[in-house]
Amino acid sequence: MKHTRREFVRILFAASQAGVAGRILQGSLFAEPAATENGLNFIVFGDWGREAEADQVGVATQMAKASKAMGAKFVISVGDNFYEDGVASTEDKQWKDSFEAVYDATALQIPWRVILGNHDYHGNCDAQIAYSKISHRWGMPERYYTRTERIDANALVDFFYIDTTPMIKLYYDEAGKEKTRANVITQDVPKQMAWFKRSLAASKAEWKIVVGHHPIYSGGDHGDTAELIESILPLLHEYKVQAYFCGHDHDLQHLTAGDVNLFISGAGSQVRPTTETEHTKFAQSSSGLTTVSLHADRMNLQMIDINGTVVYETTVPRG
Protein backbone atom coordinates (compact mmCIF):
# COMPACT_ATOMS: atom_id res chain seq x y z
CA MET A 1 0.00 0.00 0.00
CA LYS A 2 1.45 3.33 -1.05
CA HIS A 3 1.34 6.38 1.22
CA THR A 4 1.49 10.04 0.30
CA ARG A 5 4.40 12.00 1.69
CA ARG A 6 2.08 13.69 4.22
CA GLU A 7 0.75 10.32 5.39
CA PHE A 8 4.29 8.92 5.63
CA VAL A 9 5.37 11.83 7.83
CA ARG A 10 2.33 11.32 10.02
CA ILE A 11 3.05 7.62 10.49
CA LEU A 12 6.68 8.28 11.38
CA PHE A 13 5.71 10.94 13.89
CA ALA A 14 3.05 8.73 15.46
CA ALA A 15 5.52 5.89 15.79
CA SER A 16 8.15 8.10 17.42
CA GLN A 17 5.60 9.55 19.84
CA ALA A 18 4.38 6.10 20.79
CA GLY A 19 7.95 5.01 21.51
CA VAL A 20 8.64 8.01 23.70
CA ALA A 21 5.37 7.66 25.57
CA GLY A 22 5.93 3.96 26.12
CA ARG A 23 9.40 4.53 27.58
CA ILE A 24 8.30 7.31 29.89
CA LEU A 25 4.84 6.21 30.97
CA GLN A 26 4.57 2.48 30.34
CA GLY A 27 2.37 0.86 32.95
CA SER A 28 1.59 4.19 34.65
CA LEU A 29 -2.18 3.98 34.34
CA PHE A 30 -3.72 6.82 36.37
CA ALA A 31 -0.38 8.10 37.55
CA GLU A 32 -0.22 10.72 40.27
CA PRO A 33 -1.82 13.11 40.87
CA ALA A 34 -5.08 12.47 38.98
CA ALA A 35 -6.17 9.24 40.66
CA THR A 36 -5.72 10.28 44.27
CA GLU A 37 -6.91 13.87 44.31
CA ASN A 38 -10.47 14.96 44.81
CA GLY A 39 -11.76 17.13 42.00
CA LEU A 40 -14.41 17.19 39.31
CA ASN A 41 -13.40 14.06 37.43
CA PHE A 42 -14.73 13.16 33.98
CA ILE A 43 -13.93 11.37 30.72
CA VAL A 44 -13.82 12.85 27.21
CA PHE A 45 -13.94 10.79 24.02
CA GLY A 46 -15.63 10.76 20.64
CA ASP A 47 -16.09 9.15 17.23
CA TRP A 48 -17.11 5.82 18.68
CA GLY A 49 -20.36 4.12 17.58
CA ARG A 50 -19.35 1.15 15.40
CA GLU A 51 -21.56 -1.71 16.59
CA ALA A 52 -19.00 -3.21 18.98
CA GLU A 53 -16.02 -3.34 16.64
CA ALA A 54 -12.79 -4.38 18.34
CA ASP A 55 -11.31 -0.94 19.03
CA GLN A 56 -14.62 0.40 20.29
CA VAL A 57 -14.90 -2.44 22.82
CA GLY A 58 -11.26 -2.04 23.82
CA VAL A 59 -11.63 1.66 24.50
CA ALA A 60 -14.88 1.02 26.39
CA THR A 61 -13.00 -1.40 28.64
CA GLN A 62 -10.38 1.23 29.45
CA MET A 63 -13.09 3.84 30.00
CA ALA A 64 -14.72 1.63 32.62
CA LYS A 65 -11.39 1.11 34.38
CA ALA A 66 -10.65 4.84 34.27
CA SER A 67 -14.09 5.81 35.52
CA LYS A 68 -13.88 3.42 38.46
CA ALA A 69 -10.33 4.44 39.38
CA MET A 70 -10.96 8.18 39.35
CA GLY A 71 -14.61 8.25 40.37
CA ALA A 72 -15.75 9.96 37.17
CA LYS A 73 -18.88 12.06 37.51
CA PHE A 74 -19.81 12.03 33.83
CA VAL A 75 -18.67 11.20 30.29
CA ILE A 76 -18.44 13.83 27.54
CA SER A 77 -19.00 12.56 24.01
CA VAL A 78 -17.62 14.97 21.42
CA GLY A 79 -19.77 13.68 18.57
CA ASP A 80 -19.91 11.17 15.72
CA ASN A 81 -21.81 8.97 18.10
CA PHE A 82 -23.08 6.55 15.44
CA TYR A 83 -21.40 5.48 12.20
CA GLU A 84 -21.84 5.82 9.38
CA ASP A 85 -25.20 7.54 9.25
CA GLY A 86 -26.32 8.47 12.76
CA VAL A 87 -29.61 6.97 13.94
CA ALA A 88 -32.97 6.88 12.22
CA SER A 89 -35.11 7.03 15.37
CA THR A 90 -35.13 6.37 19.10
CA GLU A 91 -35.82 2.72 18.19
CA ASP A 92 -32.77 2.35 15.92
CA LYS A 93 -30.79 -0.83 16.65
CA GLN A 94 -27.64 1.28 17.00
CA TRP A 95 -28.78 2.39 20.45
CA LYS A 96 -28.34 -1.16 21.68
CA ASP A 97 -25.55 -2.37 19.42
CA SER A 98 -23.29 0.71 19.60
CA PHE A 99 -24.19 2.25 22.96
CA GLU A 100 -26.12 0.28 25.56
CA ALA A 101 -24.42 -3.08 24.98
CA VAL A 102 -20.91 -1.66 24.65
CA TYR A 103 -20.77 0.83 27.52
CA ASP A 104 -22.55 -1.48 29.94
CA ALA A 105 -20.00 -1.47 32.79
CA THR A 106 -21.28 -0.26 36.14
CA ALA A 107 -18.68 2.53 36.19
CA LEU A 108 -20.13 3.94 32.95
CA GLN A 109 -23.70 4.14 34.26
CA ILE A 110 -23.15 7.83 34.90
CA PRO A 111 -24.46 10.89 33.03
CA TRP A 112 -23.27 11.32 29.45
CA ARG A 113 -23.02 14.89 28.08
CA VAL A 114 -23.40 14.49 24.34
CA ILE A 115 -23.09 16.63 21.21
CA LEU A 116 -23.58 15.90 17.52
CA GLY A 117 -20.91 15.20 14.93
CA ASN A 118 -21.08 15.34 11.14
CA HIS A 119 -21.93 11.62 10.87
CA ASP A 120 -24.82 12.14 13.25
CA TYR A 121 -26.09 14.73 10.77
CA HIS A 122 -26.50 11.95 8.19
CA GLY A 123 -29.40 10.69 10.26
CA ASN A 124 -32.09 11.95 12.63
CA CYS A 125 -30.48 14.43 15.01
CA ASP A 126 -33.75 15.04 16.82
CA ALA A 127 -33.86 11.34 17.74
CA GLN A 128 -30.61 11.75 19.68
CA ILE A 129 -32.16 14.63 21.58
CA ALA A 130 -35.34 12.64 22.20
CA TYR A 131 -33.37 9.67 23.53
CA SER A 132 -32.45 11.83 26.51
CA LYS A 133 -36.02 11.30 27.73
CA ILE A 134 -35.70 7.53 27.38
CA SER A 135 -32.22 6.84 28.73
CA HIS A 136 -31.19 7.35 32.35
CA ARG A 137 -27.74 8.55 31.27
CA TRP A 138 -27.86 9.90 27.70
CA GLY A 139 -27.94 13.70 27.91
CA MET A 140 -28.47 15.92 24.87
CA PRO A 141 -31.15 18.47 25.77
CA GLU A 142 -30.58 20.52 22.60
CA ARG A 143 -28.14 20.69 19.71
CA TYR A 144 -26.20 23.25 21.74
CA TYR A 145 -26.45 23.97 25.44
CA THR A 146 -24.60 24.95 28.63
CA ARG A 147 -24.08 23.15 31.91
CA THR A 148 -22.62 24.45 35.14
CA GLU A 149 -20.78 21.95 37.33
CA ARG A 150 -19.41 22.47 40.83
CA ILE A 151 -15.68 21.84 41.26
CA ASP A 152 -15.58 22.42 45.01
CA ALA A 153 -17.33 24.57 47.59
CA ASN A 154 -15.97 27.77 46.08
CA ALA A 155 -15.39 27.11 42.38
CA LEU A 156 -17.57 26.40 39.34
CA VAL A 157 -16.99 25.42 35.72
CA ASP A 158 -19.26 26.38 32.85
CA PHE A 159 -19.33 23.93 29.93
CA PHE A 160 -20.49 25.24 26.57
CA TYR A 161 -21.58 22.39 24.29
CA ILE A 162 -21.72 23.67 20.72
CA ASP A 163 -22.90 22.24 17.40
CA THR A 164 -20.09 22.81 14.89
CA THR A 165 -21.29 20.83 11.85
CA PRO A 166 -23.64 23.55 10.53
CA MET A 167 -20.73 26.02 10.76
CA ILE A 168 -18.64 24.13 8.16
CA LYS A 169 -19.05 25.19 4.51
CA LEU A 170 -18.16 21.89 2.88
CA TYR A 171 -21.27 20.23 4.30
CA TYR A 172 -23.38 22.62 2.23
CA ASP A 173 -21.45 22.46 -1.02
CA GLU A 174 -19.24 19.41 -1.45
CA ALA A 175 -20.39 16.55 -3.64
CA GLY A 176 -21.22 13.45 -1.63
CA LYS A 177 -22.49 15.41 1.37
CA GLU A 178 -26.16 15.31 0.37
CA LYS A 179 -27.28 13.58 3.58
CA THR A 180 -25.51 16.15 5.72
CA ARG A 181 -26.62 19.10 3.60
CA ALA A 182 -30.29 18.21 3.99
CA ASN A 183 -29.93 18.58 7.75
CA VAL A 184 -27.46 21.46 8.12
CA ILE A 185 -29.54 23.79 5.93
CA THR A 186 -32.27 23.68 8.57
CA GLN A 187 -29.96 25.18 11.21
CA ASP A 188 -29.62 28.86 12.15
CA VAL A 189 -25.88 29.38 12.69
CA PRO A 190 -26.10 33.14 13.45
CA LYS A 191 -28.62 32.32 16.18
CA GLN A 192 -26.25 29.77 17.69
CA MET A 193 -23.32 32.19 17.52
CA ALA A 194 -25.36 34.91 19.24
CA TRP A 195 -26.29 32.41 21.97
CA PHE A 196 -22.66 31.32 22.31
CA LYS A 197 -21.30 34.85 22.69
CA ARG A 198 -24.09 35.83 25.08
CA SER A 199 -23.51 32.73 27.21
CA LEU A 200 -19.75 33.27 27.39
CA ALA A 201 -20.23 36.90 28.37
CA ALA A 202 -22.65 35.94 31.14
CA SER A 203 -20.38 33.32 32.67
CA LYS A 204 -18.89 34.08 36.09
CA ALA A 205 -17.38 30.64 36.58
CA GLU A 206 -13.73 30.17 37.44
CA TRP A 207 -13.36 27.77 34.51
CA LYS A 208 -14.85 27.96 31.02
CA ILE A 209 -14.62 24.86 28.83
CA VAL A 210 -16.04 24.60 25.31
CA VAL A 211 -16.93 21.26 23.70
CA GLY A 212 -17.35 20.91 19.93
CA HIS A 213 -16.98 18.17 17.35
CA HIS A 214 -14.57 19.72 14.87
CA PRO A 215 -11.01 20.74 15.77
CA ILE A 216 -9.83 24.32 15.55
CA TYR A 217 -6.22 23.39 14.83
CA SER A 218 -5.17 19.81 14.16
CA GLY A 219 -2.31 17.75 12.76
CA GLY A 220 -4.74 14.94 12.02
CA ASP A 221 -6.34 13.71 8.84
CA HIS A 222 -8.87 16.54 8.58
CA GLY A 223 -6.48 19.28 9.68
CA ASP A 224 -7.41 22.81 10.72
CA THR A 225 -10.99 24.08 10.47
CA ALA A 226 -10.90 27.52 8.91
CA GLU A 227 -14.46 28.43 9.91
CA LEU A 228 -13.75 27.77 13.59
CA ILE A 229 -10.45 29.64 13.48
CA GLU A 230 -12.40 32.61 12.17
CA SER A 231 -15.54 32.45 14.31
CA ILE A 232 -14.94 30.38 17.47
CA LEU A 233 -11.28 30.94 18.37
CA PRO A 234 -11.55 34.75 18.78
CA LEU A 235 -14.38 34.23 21.28
CA LEU A 236 -12.32 31.71 23.24
CA HIS A 237 -9.59 34.32 23.54
CA GLU A 238 -11.95 37.20 24.30
CA TYR A 239 -13.75 35.40 27.12
CA LYS A 240 -10.67 33.64 28.50
CA VAL A 241 -11.79 30.08 27.85
CA GLN A 242 -9.13 27.74 29.20
CA ALA A 243 -9.86 24.63 27.09
CA TYR A 244 -11.60 23.40 23.96
CA PHE A 245 -12.35 19.67 23.62
CA CYS A 246 -13.27 18.04 20.32
CA GLY A 247 -12.96 14.95 18.13
CA HIS A 248 -13.44 14.45 14.35
CA ASP A 249 -9.80 13.51 13.85
CA HIS A 250 -9.36 9.92 15.02
CA ASP A 251 -6.38 10.40 17.28
CA LEU A 252 -5.23 11.96 20.54
CA GLN A 253 -3.78 15.48 20.43
CA HIS A 254 -2.96 18.47 22.61
CA LEU A 255 -2.43 21.75 20.82
CA THR A 256 -2.36 25.37 21.95
CA ALA A 257 -3.54 28.64 20.46
CA GLY A 258 -2.18 31.35 22.71
CA ASP A 259 -3.59 30.71 26.18
CA VAL A 260 -6.29 28.32 24.92
CA ASN A 261 -5.60 24.60 25.22
CA LEU A 262 -7.04 22.47 22.42
CA PHE A 263 -7.60 18.78 23.13
CA ILE A 264 -8.60 16.28 20.45
CA SER A 265 -9.99 12.98 21.74
CA GLY A 266 -11.61 11.41 18.69
CA ALA A 267 -10.13 7.93 18.95
CA GLY A 268 -13.08 6.07 20.43
CA SER A 269 -13.19 3.32 17.81
CA GLN A 270 -10.92 4.02 14.86
CA VAL A 271 -7.44 5.42 14.22
CA ARG A 272 -5.98 7.61 11.49
CA PRO A 273 -2.46 9.05 11.09
CA THR A 274 -1.55 12.31 12.78
CA THR A 275 1.50 14.54 12.97
CA GLU A 276 2.69 17.74 14.61
CA THR A 277 2.04 21.34 13.58
CA GLU A 278 3.27 24.64 14.95
CA HIS A 279 0.52 24.38 17.59
CA THR A 280 1.24 20.81 18.71
CA LYS A 281 2.28 19.78 22.20
CA PHE A 282 1.39 16.11 21.73
CA ALA A 283 -0.04 13.92 18.97
CA GLN A 284 -0.47 10.17 18.79
CA SER A 285 -2.31 7.90 16.42
CA SER A 286 -3.90 5.36 18.73
CA SER A 287 -7.36 4.45 19.94
CA GLY A 288 -8.08 5.81 23.40
CA LEU A 289 -9.70 8.36 25.65
CA THR A 290 -8.97 11.41 27.78
CA THR A 291 -9.48 11.73 31.54
CA VAL A 292 -9.74 15.06 33.32
CA SER A 293 -9.49 15.97 36.99
CA LEU A 294 -10.53 19.60 37.36
CA HIS A 295 -9.62 21.68 40.41
CA ALA A 296 -10.13 25.31 41.28
CA ASP A 297 -6.57 26.20 40.29
CA ARG A 298 -5.62 23.57 37.69
CA MET A 299 -6.76 20.87 35.32
CA ASN A 300 -4.93 17.53 35.38
CA LEU A 301 -5.36 15.64 32.11
CA GLN A 302 -4.30 12.21 30.91
CA MET A 303 -4.62 10.53 27.53
CA ILE A 304 -4.89 6.74 27.77
CA ASP A 305 -4.56 4.31 24.88
CA ILE A 306 -6.50 1.13 24.19
CA ASN A 307 -3.98 -0.89 26.22
CA GLY A 308 -4.50 1.21 29.34
CA THR A 309 -1.18 3.04 29.08
CA VAL A 310 -1.02 6.74 29.90
CA VAL A 311 0.58 8.04 26.72
CA TYR A 312 0.38 11.72 27.69
CA GLU A 313 -0.35 13.81 30.77
CA THR A 314 -0.32 17.51 31.44
CA THR A 315 -1.47 20.11 33.95
CA VAL A 316 -3.22 23.27 32.79
CA PRO A 317 -3.25 26.16 35.28
CA ARG A 318 -6.45 28.15 35.57
CA GLY A 319 -4.65 31.29 34.44
Q: Is 303 helix (H, G, I), strand (E, B) or coil?
A: strand
**Tens of pLDDT, residues 210-264:** 999 999 999 999 999 999 999 999 999 999 999 999 999 999 999 999 999 999 9
d(CA 173, CA 177): 8
CATH topology of domain 5-317: Purple Acid Phosphatase; chain A, domain 2 (3.60.21)
pTM flag (> 0.75) = yes
Region 122-128 average pLDDT = 98
Q: What do you get for the CA distance between the two ends of the chain, in Å?
A: 47
The SS3 call for residue 271 is coil
pLDDT tens track for 27-73: 344 443 344 458 999 999 999 999 999 999 999 999 999 999 999 99
Q: Where are the domains of the chain?
A: 5-317
For residue 247, count CB atoms less than 10 angstroms from its CB and return exposed for 0-12, middle for 13-18, buried for 19 or more: buried
For the chain, count helices (H), then strands (E): 9, 14
